[in-house]
Structure 1
Amino acid sequence: MSSNVPKVFISYSHDNQSHKKWVLELAQRLRNAGVDAILDQFRVSLGDDLGQFMEENVSDSDRIIMVCTETYVTKANDGLGNVGYEKMIMTSEYMREVDSKKVIPLIRQTGTHNVPIFLSSRMYINFSRDDEFELQFDNLLREIHQAPLFKEPPVGNNHSSQSSPILLRV
């Protein structure tokens, strides 16, 4: 990460007012938890250049959360609207750095867990169940802050590599 405060751009489709409110509340929660969550609802005003906002923030952010709904996935796959434009920018980032973990697909819809085609092999976080919001939010924060729940222990010494007097006699 580029600083102590991770910068995270939130990409989503404006499906309806309820969905926009959910995304806004997610961004507010992230900001309260020490994440510089970048959201159009916070930073874009009438007359602003939306393309420039998307280009700068996709490029400058440490991570990108793609809030995947069926509408979002369709727009990303078909290259439609602002979602299609953001997907184009993100795809070019992946072409420069194939093993990048910059994008975090966040599943919001219930039922099928679709992500855009270019992310189909990537691990995602599942926010489709509101009753699991707190658990998934904690998992998301751990990922953004690079603070895994479990840390891989170091490999111990190989005790069988030392010569055994019994084996030497054979």
Structure 2
Amino acid sequence: MLKELSKYNNLGTPSYFYDFFSLINKDKKITEQEIKEYFFNKTIDNRQVFDGCIPLLKILDIINIDEIQKTISINPLYKETITSFDIFKENILESFLSKYQKDSDFYKIFIDYTFEKLYSKTILINASAFKLKYMNIKRFLIDFNFLIHHPNESYYLINKIYIKLFNKYILAQISNDKENQEIDINDKEEEAPKVFISYSWDDENHKGWVLNLANKLAENGVDPIFDRYELQPGSNAPYFMEKALRDADKVLIIFTENYQTKAMGRKGGVGYEYSILNAEICKNITDNKKYIPILRSGSMQTSIPPFMQQFISIYMIDNSQYNGQIKEILHCIFDKPLIPKPKIGEKPDYVK
């Protein structure tokens, strides 16, 4: 079954399918040829070839094509999901997994998965498992955010929001390995803290420094919410920021001169993030433990907005102290003081 898809270059992206369904909703009598002409030479998600999109939708029974008039209609079960991009995207992904769950070629791709505790009970898939033959399948799963990039380029992560789908449609089919067991994403005992990193794209050196910081956190039991892991062309950046700030257990704010300029002027992504986190901190200003200021360059006056200057910052300007600074951040993230308060002993006899 999966082999029939290997001949296509592109199986489709969420943005393509959303445009596709919107077009059909506007014109109930549109034909397959008219669809192909409409998308001819169009660039969507940096792609121009959409040869496998209509065949895939037919295989998944999402669309029907009238044999006589050649007009395309949407399966009624999917019509209601088109108003919500996220629901519609997840439904297509689930239809794909459901269709191919018993295909031996498909689940063999995942049979040698690795269970990685450092990434909050996330599954690692070897990048070489797809081989050249099924590169279009890998691209499809990445486009739909089922697979996300691992800091180690030899692997992909199964997106945690889709672990239930992985359990239901893929893990259940891998029956030969007796050690396989469903991953309980509700088990909080070993779940890694989620940490969002707010920073400005000052230059390539700074972007690289923040990326290394995110990788270092991941290596030490933290689940970093980081734009360069998550976002790709077509992603909704404001929604990502809002959700990240809401879902995170902690937020690291990397202050530089440029960050202060953007934050105070409410410019770009930094300005948008700062507006949200500023309001959130005000709700609990006397007992803030979620938002951790980090001074990377400049001084408190030149890099940290006045409102945030009242909070104690971690200074990461001196690169020679990097390991100690990482240790201090990890203590904050895991709510473990660097200097534990000793237990209160008994009053000495001479003052009794």
**Does residue 214 of structure 2 align to residue 27 of structure 1?**
yes
Map residues 120-135 of structure 1 onto 2, 5 A cutoff: 120-135=309-324
Cα shift readout 1:75-129 (whole Å, capped 9, x = no counterpart): 11221111111011101212322222211111111x4233122211101111101
Query: 1:18 matched to which residue of 2?
Result: 205
Query: 2:333 matched to which residue of 1?
Result: 144
Quick check: 1:77–1:117 contact (8 Å CA) kept in 2?
A: no
- Give, in angstroms, the shift of residue 161 of structure 1: 6.7
Unaligned 5+ residue runs, structure 2? 1-186
- Give, in angstroms, the shift of residue 148 of structure 1: 2.0
Query: 1:165 matched to which residue of 2?
Result: none
**Distance in 1 between residues matched to 2:312 and 2:283, nearest whole Å:** 20
Higher relative contact order (CA 8 A, sep 6+): 1
**Distance in 2 between residues matched to 1:118 and 1:147, nearest whole Å:** 26
TM-score, normalisation: structure 2: 0.43
Query: 1:166 matched to which residue of 2?
Result: none
Seen in structure 2, the aligned counterparts of structure 1 residues 148 and 88 have a Cα distance that, compared at 3 Å, is same
Which of 238, 243, 258 is the matching residue for 1:56?
Answer: 243
**Distance in 1 between residues matched to 2:198 and 2:231, nearest whole Å:** 13
**Distance in 2 between residues matched to 1:79 and 1:35, nearest whole Å:** 29
Q: Partner of 1:120: helix, strand, or coil?
A: helix
Query: Paired residues, what number?
Result: 160
**Distance in 2 between residues matched to 1:32 and 1:57, nearest whole Å:** 20
Q: Partner of 2:323: helix, strand, or coil?
A: helix
Amino acid in structure 2 at the alignment position of 1:76: A
Query: 1:108 matched to which residue of 2?
Result: 296
Amino acid in structure 1 at the alignment position of 2:294: L
**Distance in 1 between residues matched to 2:193 and 2:320, nearest whole Å:** 27
Cα shift readout 1:12-45 (whole Å, capped 9, x = no counterpart): 0000111111101100110111100111000001
Cα shift readout 1:132-153 (whole Å, capped 9, x = no counterpart): 1111011111111122222112
Cα shift readout 1:54-78 (whole Å, capped 9, x = no counterpart): 0000111001001111000111122
Unaligned 5+ residue runs, structure 1? 163-170
- Give, in angstroms, the shift of residue 8 of structure 1: 0.3
Amino acid in structure 1 at the alignment position of 2:266: G
**Distance in 2 between residues matched to 1:56 and 1:23, nearest whole Å:** 20
Q: Partner of 2:294: helix, strand, or coil?
A: strand
Taking only the aligned residue pairs, the percentage that are identical comes to: 36
